[in-house]
Structure 1
């Protein structure tokens, strides 16, 4: 409906947006149709749309995971009209906007690939149980491996391949030397939602062979000049509480004044000792015991007009172990777990010393000829220290240092060809400088500094044909140069003989890449009961170049196999919706002519570049059973092999399965969300990991590294909250409710005694939230 109005802009629409049981919905969007007026709700669900003329307006109220409501409001001059609504929850996120696609206002139903969006409500519920982003994603995202419950996401692959982690589109991963510490790079308190694109993609460049995880930070949602949110929580072990108690605090301030809006937040967490189901302290490798975790976040924006906006954001994250727990080494052969006891630890505190992410973004919705413009300049500086290891001659600790500076220019414009074909064209260029290295803290070079310069123009098109058929396609040209100085390798460690080999003097040089990658897909949206899609996409990855360089056995970098990995991903899937029910299914196969995984050969760890094939499927179902009961379940299967004899086949006797660092066992999850009383909410999650047994034991009676047999396990988590008043909520979370006694998958397949560590036993979180 078009609105009619007088020329005096002095009326207002105010109200509150709640769910079906009366709880406030944050970040709900209020838009006045056919106007440039709109806003979002604050943490109490309140909103205000000001400076309105008298007249008739159609108000659209929507939120991620809820049905959209539309109401007509008649306003008189200077009138303040109240419009409060209750939104009904959807069984799954159906039509939310996805920004990771790099096109404005891209809706999930128009994308021709598998995408998961973790909503603000889901993040808040799962965070009540665990504040570890890796745990949250493992529960919420089909296709992603189970969490190890530690600070490292090594082995938590996405569809069996490397994932690229972003914060608001800024790369956090270090694909030149992947340390697998990139999922825990921001506190979940600073995250509004998480978008996960599954399967190889090149829309953000190097490193997304398995897909993308994009953390979207919290928006400036205040409708007042000043609002605040405070949360205090305590954590600990229920099995054996002594020494396990921890605490965290979060404080945010946000609001808007005229054309300016802001949000500022900070959090601090001090964890206690992590205990397993028997009450023993979990082993110290990548442990979250006795960690100090800091996060500071700020975002400020200025609207020059309803079409132009300038925004700056910054996030700091740091997480370090305190180094006061000594390892009690177990034995895989004897079935004895590795634990910790208080004591002195050699070396510096491991963890993320700092992670600075800054982003300056300018947008113009109508620059010229209906073109929208987005320009982003960013900086990311991260320093990660790993644990002390005797596998360096004389002992030592490595640190990954990475600094990225980038500029993105995105232009997009709508188009139409007659009455039956319409769409959007997006094009632009990405510029990136990336300096990454992995020295030891004592100054020795393990991985030399790699200086990358990249220029990547791209073109993407989306078109709707005959109302219901959606086409997505595009190309990206990667022009990349990596400079490496002369270096000397460290003496390699032989895991079988426990001796060191010889160092190699390697002549450096420049490595150039010029690759064209593309994607193309179709989706048919006519019938809600069956919305099928097919998709082909390519991903570009420099295959963890640092691993290749540090393992060099030749004297010239020109003789090292450094070719990029180009992944071809083929996918089919569909979504089915009917009233209260939704079902999604996706099946895929990804192939690459070159691999990039490690394999133990005669005691040494060698990068294997043989061709690879990974395949799998994912299922997800949700049902909104009643107004106060929602249930759902997922199933994930993935498997992969390498063509060891390079004959184009993957079923020969010589061909081998990919190890556990790449391929996770089947994962199955289920949840129940129940609201028995207004303001009282419960969420019960079941997380199961299946079996994987693809390898034979060696002559010593043990499996090789990465090839250990994985046996099944499962845990149940419980999250609950009660809103005592409009401003005060208490939360209680129980992790591993039934105190399952288990080894996580990584402890089983890795076959290192140091990592033979059990999962957490029953633990609790008790929190209080106050909104002002």
Structure 2
């Protein structure tokens, strides 16, 4: 650690000897004078920036000279300016973009580990959920799982609960990040990581699909990175933003009324910039289309949700910056509802009534994140550096269960400490060839366990130390061919102490099995994974790509340990899951139309999935193949109408006889916890005037029936039949004054009567709950 501190101090001193530099600051507005958020501002130096929610941008560290600046955003004509700077000058610009039907934003991606990378330089599928879409969808639901389900092709439908269990990306585990810091617990995946931050502090969400090694363990299906609100382009000394909202059911409002409040303060003083915000939400009872309270397991009724966020920055000079951020999140469900168990076999839903539930309030008790970033964009050789040191402490409590002997509640406890150093060095920059390399080191200590609240050990403490050097090369040939390729070496040690398993519960006989004393020890992994891809960007109407990437995962080690049937962890099949992901796709743009398509095959020689075997739940380690495709289209129909649609399909099987064929009698389909039904989405955004915006979303799940029930009509766990369903949501906002906006959101506009997919495929009566009925959100936002 001393070496890292000394290196950081050295880099901090490099820039103080530089001379006076110049800056460009500005505001981008639409024809009505409203700010344009997330517009792309690009210099001919290949530096690219995004405007903030007030349309502001700031570019510093420039030498005297002549520059060409271009600004673009969806729905507007691109604008170019020639700027002449003198030494020490601060040039101020006020730019207005004309409306257009012929412009799509070429988004910037930062999850690539580079300082910035254009989306169309990726050789794999990427989805960006921008600020506008987040705020529109947040008006309907403040649950990030719901926002992602509506906006991201390839991601499963929302569970309609506080858990994202089964909401996979392309049939595999997804790694959730906040500003690059993992919120997931891949050593013991609790599936509550999508809902660990309030959407009000998220500026954009970047989703990189398919197995990859950008951030290492846990990204078997891809990466979802929540990027928090930026301070970079703040200009005023003090600013305020306040949002209040009320929520409830429109079917049977009694007891359903809830509310939320968010307050933020932000600004810039000299070289310091800051954002501080806090939010509180209290939900009422959640009711289905019949007006009944939905079952309380992983429930959203009577939740108390807290979020505190701060980001402090210090601009050392034009090229160096220090930034410290912190986020706290907590969401607990009050135990004042009693479960009335239904029967999936008999078509009787599970619901809740007033009463008490054993145990402590379940939910995320705390999630602390702290991140310190140092960046330097002007090291020798035009190298840039980003160093991140971070800590995360996470604790979630699950609901009381009689599946433990004498009952109990389990809690996942995870503590992470890590440091990441990313370097980017240009290798060559010529007319027909440009290349750069990104390289660095990830060091992570992750200590995770899953005890019961009363102290019994279910999953023993797993103490992991990971060191992973990586390198990623990107080259552009003749301005049209983009080539990507990279390596990552995973060197990992996981220490486990001696432990005794809990007696396993048999779902058929309703009895408990036998406990096993297990000798602990060290588990070591040393694996090299790589990726390569090619994209051809010459023609706007057809930009094809092909990609191969590998992913590394320890296969939810905690499940293997808690289900051990041998007396030594050396005898447990703890080999990692190495995923080979093959993908091909293309993007097409023609005037106001954009279309994207991708198809993939994801294979692993040793998979990891749950099955029910003689009443017990066990992990099976067999070869797996997952395949699917995604289609998405967007159209700017006029200056005030935009619409789009997407379709996602995924399927997967196990190779039961290990012959690399997946159509034999021994081969079986993967269960619903891994494979989601087909998903259809459409949206329509309409602006009747410069102050009024309306959005409707149609979100539909197809059906999936891959398994047969037993003689009594009951399906095995994870093999339940999923029926199709559709819902329509509506959001609207109206700017009453320059600083205030009214918002209205309607969820399940037609009050559809349906069971979410997550209520059906587990084939467990406890989860057999209906989806939320017709509900509203009414809010007011003010910004000064």
> What is the 5 A alignment of 1:448-487?
448-487=460-499
Return the alpha-carbon distance in structure 2 between the equivalents of residues 325 and 574 of structure 1. 50
Structure 1 residue 71 corresponds to structure 2 residue 66: no
Structure 1 residue 233 corresponds to structure 2 residue 257: no
Residue 138 of structure 1 aligns to a residue in which SS? helix
Q: Could you tell me how far 1:89 is from its partner in structure 2? A: 6.9
The answer to which of 493-502 and 72-81 deviates more is 72-81
- Please tell me whether the aligned partners of residues 73 and 103 of structure 2 are also in contact (alpha carbons under 8 angstroms): no
Partner residue in 1 for 2:114: 103
Cα 1:228–1:505 change in 2 (3 A) is same
User: Residues 524-550 of structure 1, C-alpha deviation per residue, up to 9 Å, x if partnerless?
Assistant: 000011100000000000000000000
- Please tell me whether the aligned partners of residues 233 and 768 of structure 1 are also in contact (alpha carbons under 8 angstroms): yes
Structure 1 residue 169 corresponds to structure 2 residue 213: no
Structure 1 residue 726 corresponds to structure 2 residue 735: no
Partner residue in 2 for 1:3: none
Structure 1 residue 649 corresponds to structure 2 residue 661: yes
Partner residue in 1 for 2:16: none
Match of 2:140 among 125, 129, 137: 129
Match of 2:543 among 522, 531, 538: 531
Residue 734 of structure 1 aligns to a residue in which SS? strand
Partner residue in 2 for 1:400: 412
Return the alpha-carbon distance in structure 1 between the equivalents of residues 510 and 734 of structure 2. 56
Return the alpha-carbon distance in structure 2 between the equivalents of residues 65 and 480 of structure 1. 48
Structure 1 residue 768 corresponds to structure 2 residue 744: no
Residue 150 of structure 2 aligns to a residue in which SS? helix
User: Residues 412-441 of structure 1, C-alpha deviation per residue, up to 9 Å, x if partnerless?
Assistant: 111127642211101111101000000000
Partner residue in 2 for 1:260: 272
Q: Could you tell me how far 1:759 is from its partner in structure 2? A: 0.2
- Please tell me whether the aligned partners of residues 44 and 771 of structure 1 are also in contact (alpha carbons under 8 angstroms): no
Cα 1:259–1:585 change in 2 (3 A) is same
Return the alpha-carbon distance in structure 1 between the equivalents of residues 640 and 647 of structure 2. 25
- Please tell me whether the aligned partners of residues 721 and 732 of structure 1 are also in contact (alpha carbons under 8 angstroms): yes
Partner residue in 2 for 1:295: 307
- Please tell me whether the aligned partners of residues 469 and 525 of structure 1 are also in contact (alpha carbons under 8 angstroms): yes
Partner residue in 2 for 1:639: 651
Match of 2:256 among 244, 247, 267: 244
User: Residues 612-670 of structure 1, C-alpha deviation per residue, up to 9 Å, x if partnerless?
Assistant: 00000000001001000001000000000001122221110111000000000000000
Cα 1:447–1:47 change in 2 (3 A) is closer
> What is the 5 A alignment of 1:590-605?
590-605=602-617
Structure 1 residue 660 corresponds to structure 2 residue 672: yes
Cα 1:655–1:757 change in 2 (3 A) is same
Partner residue in 2 for 1:187: 198
Residue 104 of structure 1 aligns to a residue in which SS? coil
Partner residue in 1 for 2:6: none
Partner residue in 1 for 2:524: 512
Instruction: Give the TM-score of the pair, scaled to structure 1.
Output: 0.95
User: Residues 321-360 of structure 1, C-alpha deviation per residue, up to 9 Å, x if partnerless?
Assistant: 0111110111111100011111111000000000011111
Q: Could you tell me how far 1:67 is from its partner in structure 2? A: 5.4
Q: Could you tell me how far 1:699 is from its partner in structure 2? A: 2.6
Return the alpha-carbon distance in structure 2 between the equivalents of residues 90 and 739 of structure 1. 35
Structure 1 residue 60 corresponds to structure 2 residue 70: yes
- Please tell me whether the aligned partners of residues 29 and 97 of structure 2 are also in contact (alpha carbons under 8 angstroms): yes
Residue 140 of structure 2 aligns to a residue in which SS? coil
Residue 426 of structure 1 aligns to a residue in which SS? strand
Residue 177 of structure 1 aligns to a residue in which SS? coil
Partner residue in 2 for 1:565: 577
Partner residue in 2 for 1:623: 635
Q: Could you tell me how far 1:90 is from its partner in structure 2? A: 7.5
Q: Could you tell me how far 1:228 is from its partner in structure 2? A: 1.0
Q: Could you tell me how far 1:217 is from its partner in structure 2? A: 0.5
Cα 1:546–1:83 change in 2 (3 A) is same
Residue 136 of structure 2 aligns to a residue in which SS? helix
Partner residue in 2 for 1:323: 335
Q: Could you tell me how far 1:25 is from its partner in structure 2? A: 2.2
- Please tell me whether the aligned partners of residues 73 and 105 of structure 2 are also in contact (alpha carbons under 8 angstroms): no
Residue 669 of structure 1 aligns to a residue in which SS? strand
Cα 1:508–1:82 change in 2 (3 A) is closer
- Please tell me whether the aligned partners of residues 441 and 467 of structure 2 are also in contact (alpha carbons under 8 angstroms): yes
Cα 1:699–1:341 change in 2 (3 A) is same
Partner residue in 1 for 2:5: none
Return the alpha-carbon distance in structure 2 between the equivalents of residues 336 and 590 of structure 1. 38
Partner residue in 1 for 2:593: 581
Return the alpha-carbon distance in structure 2 between the equivalents of residues 75 and 364 of structure 1. 23
Return the alpha-carbon distance in structure 2 between the equivalents of residues 96 and 29 of structure 1. 8
- Please tell me whether the aligned partners of residues 523 and 533 of structure 1 are also in contact (alpha carbons under 8 angstroms): yes
Residue 242 of structure 2 aligns to a residue in which SS? strand
Cα 1:533–1:700 change in 2 (3 A) is same
Cα 1:541–1:51 change in 2 (3 A) is closer
Return the alpha-carbon distance in structure 1 between the equivalents of residues 196 and 766 of structure 2. 24
Return the alpha-carbon distance in structure 2 between the equivalents of residues 20 and 28 of structure 1. 14
Structure 1 residue 285 corresponds to structure 2 residue 333: no
Q: Could you tell me how far 1:33 is from its partner in structure 2? A: 5.6
Partner residue in 1 for 2:164: 153
- Please tell me whether the aligned partners of residues 91 and 623 of structure 1 are also in contact (alpha carbons under 8 angstroms): no
Partner residue in 2 for 1:542: 554
Return the alpha-carbon distance in structure 2 between the equivalents of residues 34 and 648 of structure 1. 50
Return the alpha-carbon distance in structure 1 between the equivalents of residues 208 and 49 of structure 2. 28
Structure 1 residue 609 corresponds to structure 2 residue 621: yes
Q: Could you tell me how far 1:687 is from its partner in structure 2? A: 0.1
Residue 123 of structure 1 aligns to a residue in which SS? helix
Match of 2:224 among 213, 219, 234: 213
Return the alpha-carbon distance in structure 2 between the equivalents of residues 556 and 79 of structure 1. 67
Return the alpha-carbon distance in structure 2 between the equivalents of residues 54 and 454 of structure 1. 45
The answer to which of 258-267 and 636-645 deviates more is 258-267
Return the alpha-carbon distance in structure 2 between the equivalents of residues 217 and 711 of structure 1. 37
- Please tell me whether the aligned partners of residues 52 and 230 of structure 2 are also in contact (alpha carbons under 8 angstroms): no
User: Residues 428-478 of structure 1, C-alpha deviation per residue, up to 9 Å, x if partnerless?
Assistant: 111010000000000000000000011101110000112210000001010
- Please tell me whether the aligned partners of residues 28 and 45 of structure 1 are also in contact (alpha carbons under 8 angstroms): yes
Residue 424 of structure 2 aligns to a residue in which SS? strand
Residue 114 of structure 2 aligns to a residue in which SS? coil
Return the alpha-carbon distance in structure 1 between the equivalents of residues 64 and 382 of structure 2. 29
> What is the 5 A alignment of 1:348-497?
348-416=360-428, 419-497=431-509
Q: State the number of aligned residues.
A: 764
Cα 1:421–1:35 change in 2 (3 A) is closer
Give me the CA root mean square deviation. Answer: 2.4
Return the alpha-carbon distance in structure 1 between the equivalents of residues 296 and 136 of structure 2. 28
Return the alpha-carbon distance in structure 1 between the equivalents of residues 473 and 21 of structure 2. 39
The answer to which of 17-26 and 250-259 deviates more is 17-26
Cα 1:263–1:89 change in 2 (3 A) is farther
Return the alpha-carbon distance in structure 2 between the equivalents of residues 507 and 735 of structure 1. 52
- Please tell me whether the aligned partners of residues 715 and 738 of structure 1 are also in contact (alpha carbons under 8 angstroms): yes
Partner residue in 2 for 1:693: 705
- Please tell me whether the aligned partners of residues 422 and 438 of structure 2 are also in contact (alpha carbons under 8 angstroms): yes
Partner residue in 1 for 2:3: none
- Please tell me whether the aligned partners of residues 103 and 591 of structure 2 are also in contact (alpha carbons under 8 angstroms): no
Return the alpha-carbon distance in structure 2 between the equivalents of residues 231 and 618 of structure 1. 36
Return the alpha-carbon distance in structure 1 between the equivalents of residues 400 and 713 of structure 2. 28
Return the alpha-carbon distance in structure 2 between the equivalents of residues 54 and 403 of structure 1. 48
> What is the 5 A alignment of 1:721-760?
721-760=733-772
Return the alpha-carbon distance in structure 1 between the equivalents of residues 65 and 493 of structure 2. 59
Gaps of 5+ in 1: 1-6
Return the alpha-carbon distance in structure 2 between the equivalents of residues 173 and 92 of structure 1. 36
